[in-house]
Structure 1
Amino acid sequence: MVTIPSRRKRATIHDVAVEAGVSRGTVSRVVNNEPYVSASSRTAIEAAIEKVGYVPNNAARSLVMQRSEAVGFIVHEPHSLFLDDPNIGGILLGANTVLSRSDYQMVSLVIDSQRDTDRVARYLSGGFVDGVIIVSARQEDPITRVIEKLRLPAAFVGHPPEQSPLPFVGIDNRASARAITERLMQTGRQHIGMVAAALDRDSGADRLAGFTDALGDRFDPALVARVPLYTFTDGVQGMRALLERDPLIDGVFAASDAVAAGALEALRQAGRSVPGDVGIVGFDDSSWALRTQPHLSTVHQPAFGLGERAAECVLGQLRGEEQPADGILLETPIVWRDSA
């Protein structure tokens, strides 16, 4: 029979005060890093804290201060994509670096269903976070409405849907997509298509718009394969669709590096060489770009920097600082490699 040990009683400020021989008020000032405590008392209290194993009750402290000292990191993506997309990981790490420096905890919230939406809405309404960073928000997003209603300090990574007034940090997806498509056209390709993903998000819709801008009169809507997500599998399926529609296709813009990697696999299976028969370019400059053979020509998206700036934006709002009304856009240089 296994005996479950009883839970150890949590040490309190009273225990520290008794051990140190001072008042609870003096202990509280030391714990909260306040002045007006003598050096000898502070030394005695610190020794007592170590001896009795006292840990401040942050939940109780948050109730008094009406601050959780936590920021939510909300990702509107399927669970699998949250793990597989290196951009999300880069954004997350960038945000966490900034929040950590300010002693804020980051709380990851993944929305993959209506049940997730309802749960996260309740969580935000409960006051468990002081602000939020939102990644991959969709059109007609109920979470955005909740954030606006609660007046939570917030920052989108990417442009807010439906012209929301909330601050955002992002890139110019349309101009970047136009630039790399024009670079692809300069290689002499005549039948250029696109595997367009995530068209219910600003990033996906803007990348398709940039592709359309670049081609101008040469744009053929039949050479746009629309797929749901920025995934390898969607890239395979999208490329197969393009090959069926035009066997002479010789250039492809894939909406992300993961999609481009899938397209490369479909071309390999079809016996088409890259860049000999088909030139292909991606978007992100993620780890996918260097996993492929040949390495991908792509647009560099500064994922870590996006996370940093989004976190700085939220912390700025918590300090009462005004944020740029037209958002913050980071640079996205083209990285040209062997795939085109």
Structure 2
Amino acid sequence: MAGRNAGGRRATIHDVAAEAGISRGTVSRVLNDEPYVSATARQAVEAAVAKVGYVRNAAARNLVTQRSRAVALIVHEPHSLVLEDPNIGNILIGTNAVLSQADHQLVTLMIDSQRDSDRVVEYLRGGFVDGAIILSARTGDPISDAIAEMHLPASFVGHPPDAPDIPYIGIDNKSAAEAIVRRLVATGRRRIGMLASGLDRDSGQDRLMGFATALGDAYDPRLVVRHPFYSYAAGAEGMAELLDIDPTIDGVFAASDAVAAGAMDVLHRRGISIPRELGIIGFDDSTWAVRCTPALSTVRQPAEALGRRAAQQVLDQLSGTADFERDLILPTEVVWRESA
């Protein structure tokens, strides 16, 4: 068994020293990648480690260094939506790629209730992670406040309006929403509604603001249906409600691709032709967008790059980099397809 010697006992640094025929201090310097160790000694230690099956005791090392070499990704979404939202997966992939390259472990913590929130705050206070990346934080988020109080190296993906002074990485949701809604208006639509979601966070608020700005005097607040989550169910329920409010509606801006997909299924069931009778647009350019029929016009946001840059912000803080890039806005792109 790896990490055990022939007698079943866990191999120790003393076993490595005995096998290599050199001092324990030299073995320790090699294992900690310290300078002033000869190439011969380093090779002897590496060979001995492989032979005796030595595995470093991470807990003991952490006690000495006061570092866990772990970073938390804190996801403020119901458990059911974590798997439904491709953006979360892409952000996670980007985050893990950067942390892995730096030999740090990603720890994912999901917040679905006040109980979860309280538990995670205690976990962070326990020193189990060196830093945190906060995804989809709501207004008045107690975890963000606790992180600020602990001075824990951290980064927001997005930027809640009441957030503490923590570096963030995000996109300009307002300008992106405004750009794609203006393009929808240019197709000749006159009664345009919105399926708004996530209004307790900056992304949802800013997308609604961009929608209203693009419509100008044509903006009708009665044609905005609100739902707390960026979900397929929000789109299905919201589209049915929007059609009840105004059956003559001929354009819809869905706050995410998942929301748009739910709305399009309702339109198909009711026999409303897309885009001949009603044009619909989304936001994210996730896998939902290309699964829809017809393919969805949407805003492409760089989810994986958001995760990468957030991870780098945390690593820069951990390394003491004074002039790291903070408070970054990444570019988006309108992707125009058949749905509008």
TM-score normalised by length of structure 1: 0.95
Q: What residue number does 2:95 align with?
A: 95
CA distance in 2, matches of 1:291, 1:161: 33
Q: List gaps (5 residues or longer) in structure 2.
A: 1-6
The CA deviation at 1:326 is 7.0
Matches within 5 A, 1:135-284: 135-284=135-284
CA distance in 2, matches of 1:9, 1:129: 30
* 3-state SS of paired residue (2:93): helix
Q: What residue number does 1:122 align with?
A: 122
* 3-state SS of paired residue (1:129): coil
Q: What residue number does 1:3 align with?
A: none
- Which amino acid is the alignment partner of residue 260 of structure 2? A
CA distance in 2, matches of 1:176, 1:324: 26
CA 1:149–1:88 in structure 2 vs 1: closer, same or farther (change >3 Å)?
same
Deviates further, 33-42 or 234-243: 33-42
The CA deviation at 1:300 is 0.5
1:188-228 deviations in Å (ceiling 9; x for gaps): 00110000011111111110111011111111111001112
Q: What residue number does 2:317 align with?
A: 317
- Which amino acid is the alignment partner of residue 339 of structure 1? S
The CA deviation at 1:60 is 1.1
CA distance in 1, matches of 2:79, 2:38: 52
Q: What residue number does 2:42 align with?
A: 42
TM-score normalised by length of structure 2: 0.95
CA 1:206–1:8 in structure 2 vs 1: closer, same or farther (change >3 Å)?
farther
The CA deviation at 1:324 is 7.1
* 3-state SS of paired residue (2:162): helix
The CA deviation at 1:177 is 0.7
Contact 2:313 2:325 in 1 (8 A): no
CA distance in 2, matches of 1:196, 1:285: 17
2:39 counterpart of 1:68: no
Q: List gaps (5 residues or longer) in structure 1.
A: 1-6
- The number of equivalent residue pairs is 334
1:288-337 deviations in Å (ceiling 9; x for gaps): 00000100000001000100111111111112224679710001110000
Contact 1:72 1:109 in 2 (8 A): yes
RMSD: 1.4
CA distance in 1, matches of 2:34, 2:86: 42
Q: What residue number does 1:286 align with?
A: 286
The CA deviation at 1:160 is 3.2
Deviates further, 264-273 or 161-170: 161-170
CA distance in 2, matches of 1:217, 1:121: 45
* 3-state SS of paired residue (2:338): coil
Contact 2:145 2:164 in 1 (8 A): no
* 3-state SS of paired residue (2:119): helix
CA distance in 2, matches of 1:116, 1:110: 7
CA distance in 2, matches of 1:289, 1:163: 31
CA distance in 1, matches of 2:45, 2:322: 40
- Give the share of equivalent positions with the same residue, in percent: 62
CA distance in 2, matches of 1:323, 1:160: 23
- Which amino acid is the alignment partner of residue 146 of structure 2? V
CA distance in 1, matches of 2:76, 2:229: 12
List 4+ stretches of structure 1 deviating above 3 A: 322-326
CA distance in 2, matches of 1:141, 1:283: 24
The CA deviation at 1:109 is 0.6
